[in-house]
Amino acid sequence: MHVSTPSLRLLACQDCDLLQRVPSVRPGLRVRCRRCGALLYRQVPNGLERSLALAVTGVILFALANAFPLLALRAQGQVLEGTLLSTARALWQADRPLLAILVLLTTFLFPLLDLAGTLYLLLPLRHGVRPPGLGPLYRFLRSARPWGMLEVFLLSILVAVVKLGELATVIPGPALYAFVALIFTLAALSASLDPYSVWQRAEGAA
Ligand SMILES: [Zn+2]
């Protein structure tokens, strides 16, 4: 939350609620709370452009991660391939509907919403246009982000690979590499997109 006029800028600390006057700092510097030391905001150099580039990279990786098999299992001359979505389908067919829905939401829907929503917000903002529904959508994206759990899914794949190692030959598919890259891209996106600069751009936009 912030109030901004050319001469006075107030920012409330998200951790301890202290309202304080903050200086304009040059890109790259961090501003911390005077009382508790929490990060108030960070002026990422070209933050919006960097986030936009990461979001576009994320969309490409997301498409690759879903288009190709994650893993292939070879046992007794037979090869079984599985994509991300086929994992959810297999869980559904194995009478695990709750788990299937959870996998679908945390590995497919939330990351997709995150990327699509970020692009929807940043593309117009970059050109000085305020996209309709910016406030509610940005708040929703921030609250939905923790529900994208690609790394948890990756961990479960690794556990399965170790356990299945004795029974079958596990061949990593192209999607697995895209999947790992996507995890890092989403983490970088989350770190580069500072809410303060988003609202600042939105304020200046038409
Ligand atoms: Zn504080």
Better-predicted residue by pLDDT, 15 or 45:
15
pTM of the model: 0.81
How would residue 3 be classed by pLDDT, with cut points 50, 70 and 90?
Answer: very low
- Mean pLDDT for the chain overall: 87
- How far apart are the CA of 12 and the centre of ligand 1, in A? 8
CA distance 119 to 5: 29
- How far apart are the CA of 2 and the centre of ligand 1, in A? 14
Q: Give the DSSP letter string of 191-203.
A: HH--HHHHHHHHH
- How far apart are the CA of 40 and the centre of ligand 1, in A? 8
CA distances from 64 to 17, 100, 102, 178 (A): 43, 21, 21, 6
81-100 confidence digits (pLDDT tens): 888 888 899 999 999 999 99
How would residue 197 be classed by pLDDT, with cut points 50, 70 and 90?
Answer: confident
Token readout for 46 is 């070209």
How would residue 47 be classed by pLDDT, with cut points 50, 70 and 90?
Answer: confident
- How far apart are the CA of 22 and the centre of ligand 1, in A? 13
Mean pLDDT of 51-57: 95
Q: What is the pLDDT of residue 92?
A: 93
Better-predicted residue by pLDDT, 81 or 24:
81
Reference 52, options 198, 205, 206; nearest CA is: 198
CA distance 72 to 112: 24
- How far apart are the CA of 193 and the centre of ligand 1, in A? 21
- How far apart are the CA of 30 and the centre of ligand 1, in A? 14
- How far apart are the CA of 20 and the centre of ligand 1, in A? 9
Rg over CA atoms, the chain: 21
Q: What is the pLDDT of residue 75?
A: 84
- How far apart are the CA of 188 and the centre of ligand 1, in A? 25
Q: Give the DSSP letter string of 21-41.
A: E-----TT-EEE-TTT--EEE
98-123 confidence digits (pLDDT tens): 999 998 999 999 999 999 999 999 99
Q: What is the DSSP letter of 45?
A: T
Query: At residue 71, does pLDDT exceed 60?
Result: yes
What is the edge-to-edge ordering of all strands in the sheet holding 2-4? 2-4, 9-12, 19-21
Query: At residue 5, does pLDDT exceed 50?
Result: no
Beta bridge partners of 54: none
129-158 confidence digits (pLDDT tens): 999 999 999 999 888 888 888 888 888 888
Q: What is the pLDDT of residue 4?
A: 46
Neighbours of ion ligand 1 (CB under 5 A): 13, 15-16, 18, 33, 35-36, 38
